[in-house]
Structure 1
Amino acid sequence: MKVMLVDDEPIVIEHIKGLIPWEACGYEMIATATNGKSALRICEEKRPEIVIVDIRMPVMDGVQLIRAVSEKQLGILFIVLSAYEDFSVARQVISLGGVSSYLIKHEIDSHKLLQELNKAKATWELEKKQQRMMQNDMIKDLVTGIELKPSSNIDGMKPPFGLALIQKDAPFSTDHLTNVHTEPAHAAKWIMEITKHCAANEHWKLLGEFQTHGAQIVLLFAQRNKAACVLHSELQTLLQSAQQHLFGEFNRTFSVFYTYGGHDPTSLPASFQQVVEAARHTIFCGREALLCVNGLPLSVESTPPAARHIRFDALHESLEQQDVAMMEKAVKELFSRIRKPKWDLRGLYDTIGGLTNVIQEPAAQFGRMDTDIFDVKLYDPVYQMDELIERFIQHLRERLTSMNEIGPLSGKMQRALRYIHEHYHEEISIDDVSYAIGISPSYLHQLFKKEMDRTFLDYVTEHRIQQAKRILRQEDAKITDVAARIGYRSPQHFTQVFKKVTGLLPHQYREAGSRL
């Protein structure tokens, strides 16, 4: 912490300078002065945090210096010195504000000086923290569009601006349209590291930062040197450095999306929406992205999802002909259409839904359970488009292999499985299913043993637990609700069955997935 000493007696200055080992105690004596006028100039140039000042000095005394610094809002705390126990002067000085303590010169020793310095330091840091929090709140309101004009209390709010969004990379899942990966507790630590890392950059000043509804951090910068032509490359270098710093501190990868060059504060909400939208498209750019959103091929949603129609004719034909090469080409063409000329996120999810149906439709015919191809407990996590394409191709290859190796189930068994899939959330029994498809319970029991190599109850249980795993991964539902939604009246019974099938309690399964 930077300290300046002001006294018209050089002997007093030397005495106080020698009382404590300044650097060892966490302080830096940056300057001394013998009058208030020269001290004011130094305060403006070097910005000390604490000034130890004598009251009675020539040219400009201590009271005048404190008043001038207060008017200029330099954010300095004063420790006032006096040779006399003049309490009327003490009251006058303290009433000015910005004064931490009033000391009598002949009473000062090393212990007293260090005590008052630490007291001033704690007060200064608390005030700065409170000011930073207030500024961050004002910046959040401005950037998100709650306030349309910047407050005059936002320090350094001068264009041009840079706006960045940083988020932890998370595996792709089909619920990303509505569910943002959240880690609010961790995000507070990430913010602390980012602000420390960006504070001393010579080109861009970090005006403030805030956390969004998830593990996303938004940073607002202003260009420091208005005379220099600082291009976006300096901002990119700073953000890349922060990205690497976060990885080094937390051993996790982060992606960064930013804009730069804005001159109108009222345009910040539009820039904010740009970086938020870009962050939703991470599957198109992969992990550890560092991208300026101004040039990204983001699409504007104009067609309602219900009006979209994606054709899978070539894929169906390849499966009918059992042609692997033709199937791979069809899948790649489907994804190519949603990457160019624009990134089509809605089209991506529609394509994924259609491909998933193609994969799952024949599952019942071969006695296979539906699986979530993005289940990180079963498969490697997917972070980018090429990995996503390969995941679908892999599962379609497996379906072709299954079609060749295993004969389809009988029509009766297919109808039984279809009924289970439609009514698993109800209290169904083998009697209910056999009645629905028109055969006896004993015959259906034999069909399960013969064609499925498992009992009716085993199959229903497996299907219910599969659905429970999907809910636990994608939603923050209570265990009681999960149990009810998959057909268990008793949450305790559901918990016991889940543990028997998976080896984990439901909350352990959810926590294990959230750490991936």
Structure 2
Amino acid sequence: MQDYRRDTSMKKEISQYERISQEIKNKLAKKDTNASFLAKENKLFHETWMIEQQILSFIREGNTEGLRRLFITLTKEEYIKEGPVADTPLRQEKNIFIGFTALIGKTAAIEGGLDIEESYRMVDIYTQECETAITVDEVYVLRYCMIVDFTERVKQAQKPKKLSKKTDKAMHYINSHIYSSLTIDEIAKHIGISRSALTKHFRKDLNKSIIEYVTEEKTKEAKRLLLYSNKSISEVAAYLNYSSQPYFQTVFKKVTGTTPYEYMKNVI
């Protein structure tokens, strides 16, 4: 990898960034001074911090019931003031939505146990969906959906509090390579410990074998693909690296109690 500290052109670029950065900071400092004066003069303050912290706390805990109780309470409250971040009402709500979605996905959701890649992916998806909204009400509905979705995902993904770093790293590797065949030896090699040590850590932390965990995670992914993609059952089996469609169907039924076809038929 190239060392930017020894690269003259890179040094020039950083120097230029620093100069421009100072100009931007000076410009924004003037805006901040003016905004601060107007806010104090007109008593316009940000009033969302406490509510945001409550929401983040519920998401971190995967507490969907507490979250819904909070929303019921908020519907009875007077309008909560938010700082101006755009020139139009729609752009205002979109910007607030995007900022809060990133905050949730990159802090509370991951801290609550949601897989990093899944959390970042959800931030991207909800941000893109927000940009398609054409009314403020659409953004409000999407915001509710986003918050509940993250909370439910955290609840499903919650890990034991006393989880060893080795097991946590293995779980992240499995979730990041769910479309691979995933052997115990491969996972152990990535973690940097022996097969027997990894098996022992996993059983102690999760009270299940690595194979059981991999099977559960592949089944979760299979459910998503069956419901939300146009892939056939055979394609899902291939994507998840099962040796054959019949074997995939056998495993799926063993975990869920129903066949992939029956699952799609009953849920959709």
TM-score, normalization by structure 2: 0.50
2:36 is matched with which residue? none
**Residue in structure 1 matched with residue 260 of structure 2 by the alignment:** 506
**Partner of residue 409, structure 1:** 163
Q: Does 1:438 align with 2:192?
A: yes
Determine if contact 1:322/1:400 at 8 Å carries over to the other structure: no
Identify the match of residue 362 of structure 1 among 82, 101, 111: 111
Tell me how far apart the structure 1 counterparts of residues 99 and 244 of structure 2 sit (CA, whole Å).
36
- Alpha-carbon separation, structure 1, partners of 2:240 and 2:95: 29
How far apart, in 2, do the equivalents of 1:439 and 1:475 lie? 37
Contact 1:430/1:456 (<8 A) preserved: yes
Structure with more strand by fraction: 1
| Counterpart residue number, 1:429 | 183
Q: Residues 499 and 350 of structure 1: is their aligned pair in 2 closer, same or farther, counting only changes over 3 Å?
A: farther
In the TM superposition, what are the counterparts of 1:98-497 in structure 2 within 5 Å? 318=53, 322=57, 340-341=89-90, 355=104, 358=107, 360-362=109-111, 364=113, 389-390=143-144, 392-393=146-147, 407-497=161-251
Q: CA deviation at 1:489?
A: 2.2
Cα pair distance change 1:452/1:512, threshold 3 Å: same
Query: Shift of the alpha carbon at 1:468?
Result: 0.8
Report how far residue 478 of structure 1 moved: 1.4
Tell me if the contact between 1:468 and 1:486 (Cα under 8 Å) persists in the aligned partners. yes
Contact 2:181–2:240, Cα closer than 8 Å, also in 1: no
Change (3 A) 1:452 1:342: same
Shift of 1:511: 2.2
Residue by residue over 1:118-174, the C-alpha shift from the partner in whole angstroms, topping out at 9 and shown as x without a partner, is xxxxxxxxxxxxxxxxxxxxxxxxxxxxxxxxxxxxxxxxxxxxxxxxxxxxxxxxx
Is contact 2:109-2:151 (8 Å) kept?
no
Q: Letter of the 1:318 partner, please give it.
A: Q
Give how far 1:343 is off. Answer: 9.9
| Greater gyration radius | 1
Asked if the contact 2:93/2:139 (under 8 Å) is kept, the reply is no
Pairwise CA distance, 1:385: 6.4
Shift of 1:341: 2.4
User: Higher helix share goes to which structure?
Assistant: 2
- Cα shift readout 1:190-229 (whole Å, capped 9, x = no counterpart): xxxxxxxxxxxxxxxxxxxxxxxxxxxxxxxxxxxxxxxx
Structure 1 residue 392 displacement after superposition: 4.9
Letter in 1 for 2:180: E
> Is the 1:498–1:506 contact (alpha carbons within 8 Å) kept by the matching residues of 2?
yes
| Cα distance in 2 for residues equivalent to 1:470 and 1:346 | 29
Q: Which runs of 5+ in 2 are unaligned?
A: 1-48, 60-65, 75-80, 123-137
* Secondary structure, counterpart of 1:341 in structure 2: helix
Q: 1:428 to 1:478 in 2, by over 3 A?
A: same
How many residues end up aligned between the 2 structures?
Answer: 181
Asked if 2 retains the 8 angstrom alpha-carbon contact of 1:483 and 1:490, the reply is: yes
In the superposition, relative to structure 1, how do residues 342 and 322 fare at CA in structure 2: closer, same or farther (>3 Å)?
closer
TM-score normalised by length of structure 1: 0.28
CA distance in 2, matches of 1:412, 1:493: 30
Q: Distance in 1 between matches of 2:187 and 2:109?
A: 21
Q: How far does residue 393 in structure 1 lie from its aligned partner after superposition? A: 4.6
Q: Which has the higher contact order (CA 8 A, sep 6+)?
A: 2
> Within 2, Cα distance between the matches of 1:496 and 1:359?
37
One-letter amino acid matched to 1:428 = L
Aligned-partner Cα distance in 2 for 1:349–1:499: 39
Could you tell me how far 1:321 is from its partner in structure 2?
Answer: 8.8
Contact kept? 1:319, 1:400, Cα under 8 Å: no
1:454 is paired with a residue whose SS is coil
Q: Which amino acid aligns with 2:185?
A: D
Query: Any conservation in 1 of the 2:113–2:154 contact (CA below 8 Å)?
Result: no
Structure 1 alignment gaps of length 5 or more: 1-313, 374-383
- C-alpha RMSD of the superposition: 4.9
